[in-house]
Structure 1
Amino acid sequence: MARMTCEILAFILTISGWVLVCSTLPTDYWKVSSIDGTVITTATFWSNLWKTCVTDSTGVSNCKDFPSMLALDGYIQACRGLMIAAVSLGFFGAIFALVGMKCTKIGGSDSSKAKITCFAGIVFILCGLCAMSGVSLYAHRITSEFFDPTFLEQKYELGAALFIGWGGSSLCLIGGVAFCFSMVEEGGSPRTIYSYNGATSVISSRKKGPTSSADRKPGRGLPRHFDKNAYV
C-alpha cells in the first residue's frame, strides 16, 4: 500500500512537471527588455527560442523568426537541444511509469514492475536535469549581459518561461527520486510474522501395560481432568 501511494504521488508530480516543461517551448517571454534607467519607453522587446519580437506603445507586436539555425548563438542552440531532449525523455518516462506502477495490470511480476518503475524514475531525473540545464543556461546569459558594464546593447530581464521551466524541472526531479524510493521500499526484507496458536498441554507419555478390570483400583481407571492453567 505504501509503495502504491508513493508511485501515484510520484506519477502526479512527474506528469505535472513534464507538462510545465512542454509549455515553456511555445511560451513567448523567455526574456523581456529591461526598463531600468529608461525614462520613456516606446517599445518592449522580447524573444524566445524561436523568434524575436517588439511591441510598440499601441500594443501591436511585430515578430521575426530566426532566419538560420546555424547562425544562431550557441546558447540558443544548446537550450533548444536540452529542452527537446527533456520533452522526449518525459514522454518515454511516462510510458515506463504506467507499465511499472503497481496499480496497473501490465508489466509482469512485482519484481519486474519495480525495476521498470525505477528505470522510469531515472528517465524523469534526466528529464528534469536537461530542462533545468537549458533554462539555467538561458538565464545565465541574460544575467551576465545585464550585469556587464561593458555591454552597451539592449539588456533583458528574466521572462515568465524561465520560472515555469524551473518549476517543471524541479517537479520532475522530485517525482523521479520518489519513483526510485518506491523500489527501495519494495526491495526491503519482508517482515516475519509469528502467529500464536495457544498453549499446548503435554501429557507425559508413560508406557502403561495392559491391565484388567480386576487389577484396577477404585479411582485409578478414571481419566484425569486437568485445569486449563496446569501444564506438564
Structure 2
Amino acid sequence: MGSVGVQIVCVALGVLGMIGVIVCCAVPRWKVSSFTGSNIVTAQSSQEGLWTTCVVQSTGQQQCKNYDSLLVLPSDLQAARALTIISCMISCLSLLMLFCGADFTTCVQNEDAKPKISLVSGIGLLLAGILVIIPVSWSAHIVVRDFNNPLIIAGQKKELGACIFVGWGAGVLLLLAGGLLCCFSRPQSGSSGGTAKYYSNNASAPGKNYV
C-alpha cells in the first residue's frame, strides 16, 4: 500500500482540485467580453457563467441575471452544468473514501480493505478530473471558434474567462491525485500468507538437511 506521505499529498491535491471545481461551477467567468477590433466601448463588460450572466460597469457596479429557461440554453452550457456538478459530487465522495481508507486514519480497521478503498477513491478522482476537463475544453473550443469567425461582429465576440483556466487546473490536480493513488494503492494479495509459508518452510528446512 502507498506510504502515508503519498496519501497526504493526494488528499491535498484532491482538496485543491475540488475547490477549483466548485469555484469553476459557481463563479460567472466562463466567457468575458472581448475588446478587440472596432469594439472600443469599455464602459461596461459582460461575463457569462453556468448559471448567470453579469454586466460590470466601469465604476465597479455589477448586475447579474439568471438565465431565463433551461430549454433555451445551448448544449455546451447544459452539458457543462451537469458535468461540473457530477465532478463535484464524485470528488467529494472520493475524498471521504480516501480519508476512511488512508493509513493515517483508523476509520477502517481491516488492513486488507484499506488499499482497495484507496484504489476506488483514486479511480473516482480520475473520473472527476476528466468530467471537469471535458466541459471547460468544450467551452474554450466554442469561444475560440466564434472569436475567429469573421461573420460575428466584434461587439459580440467573447474571450476565455478565468473559470476556464481554473477548471483546467482543477482537472489536472484531480488527475494527479487519482493517478498517484492508483499507482501506490494497489492491493498486494497473499502477502501475509506468503510470509507465513516462508517462515514455516525455513523452520522445517533444518530437519531435511540429510536429503
Structure in which a larger fraction of residues adopt helix: 2
Distance 2:190 2:133 in 1: 36
Match of 2:165 among 140, 163, 166: 163
Distance 2:4 2:141 in 1: 39
2:6 aligns with 6
2:183 aligns with 181
1:16 aligns with 16
Q: How does 1:189-228 map to 2 (within 5 A)?
A: none
The structure with higher relative contact order (CA 8 Å, sep 6+) is 2
Deviations 1:138-191 (A, max 9, x none): 11111111111122360111111111111111100000011111123x638969
Change in 2 beyond 3 A, CA 1:2/1:90: closer
Change in 2 beyond 3 A, CA 1:59/1:122: same
Q: By how many angstroms is 1:70 displaced?
A: 1.4
Q: How does 1:12-161 map to 2 (within 5 A)?
A: 12-37=12-37, 38-152=39-153, 154-161=156-163
Tell me the TM-score normalised to structure 2 length. 0.83
| More divergent stretch after superposition (58-67 vs 47-56) | 58-67
Distance 2:58 2:161 in 1: 19
Q: Which has the larger radius of gyration?
A: 1
Give the RMSD, CA atoms, in angstroms.
2.2
Distance 2:64 2:9 in 1: 41
Q: SS at the partner of 1:63?
A: strand
Distance 1:183 1:58 in 2: 53
Q: Any conservation in 1 of the 2:143–2:160 contact (CA below 8 Å)?
A: yes
Q: By how many angstroms is 1:125 displaced?
A: 0.5
Deviations 1:75-108 (A, max 9, x none): 1000000000000001110111011111111224
Q: In structure 2, list runs of 5 or more residues that go unmatched.
A: 200-211
Q: SS at the partner of 1:39?
A: coil
**Matched length:** 193
Q: In structure 1, list runs of 5 or more residues that go unmatched.
A: 195-232
| More divergent stretch after superposition (145-154 vs 118-127) | 145-154
Q: SS at the partner of 2:68?
A: coil
Distance 2:189 2:9 in 1: 20
Q: SS at the partner of 1:13?
A: helix
Distance 1:111 1:10 in 2: 20
Q: Percent identity?
A: 32
Q: SS at the partner of 1:81?
A: helix
Distance 1:56 1:158 in 2: 19
Distance 1:101 1:17 in 2: 19
Distance 2:54 2:185 in 1: 48
Q: By how many angstroms is 1:20 displaced?
A: 1.2
Q: Any conservation in 1 of the 2:14–2:125 contact (CA below 8 Å)?
A: yes
Distance 1:119 1:130 in 2: 17
